[in-house]
Amino acid sequence: MRIPRRSAAFNVTIKSDHRGSCQGTHVIQACVGYCESSAFPSKYSVLLASNFKHITTSVSQCCTITKMQKIKVRLHCGASRRESMELFTAKTCQCDMCRLSRY
């Protein structure tokens, strides 16, 4: 059973270089959620295959971005000049593979 994922809005500020001569802010979406995970004693087959090192098994899902969308952010360079830049925002989220949970 999963808790429905939600997307969370946050502000990003983009600077064109270290001096920040061109700058702009935009609201983009992230994915935040609570997906089910558990850990329990490993089966004998897992124990054998790992030379009795993996005594526990963890089965998990994490909140992930499934679709991204490109958006254009307008950057202001001083009083008159304008530039634009493309960046991504999360479009849809779901509980899926925890790509970065291992250590």
Partner 1 sequence: APKSSKPSKVNLKTFIGCAVREFTFLAKKPGCRPMRITTDACWGRCETWEKPVLDPPYIEAHHRVCTYNETRLVTVRLPHCAANVDPFYTYPKAIRCDCSVCLTTTTECETA
Per CB under 8 A, which of residues 11..30 are in contact with partner 1? 14, 28, 30
Cβ 49 to partner 1 shortest distance, Å: 8
Stretch that binds partner 1, among 17-25, 75-83, 91-99 (CB under 8 A): 91-99
The rounded distance, in Å, linking the Cα atoms of 103 and 89 is 28
Q: Which residue has the tokens 């935040």?
A: 32
Footprint (CB under 8 A) of partner 1, residues 66-85: 68
Nearest CB to partner 1, comparing residues 40 and 80 = 40
C-alpha 41 chain-centroid distance: 30
The secondary structure of residue 55, as a DSSP letter, is -
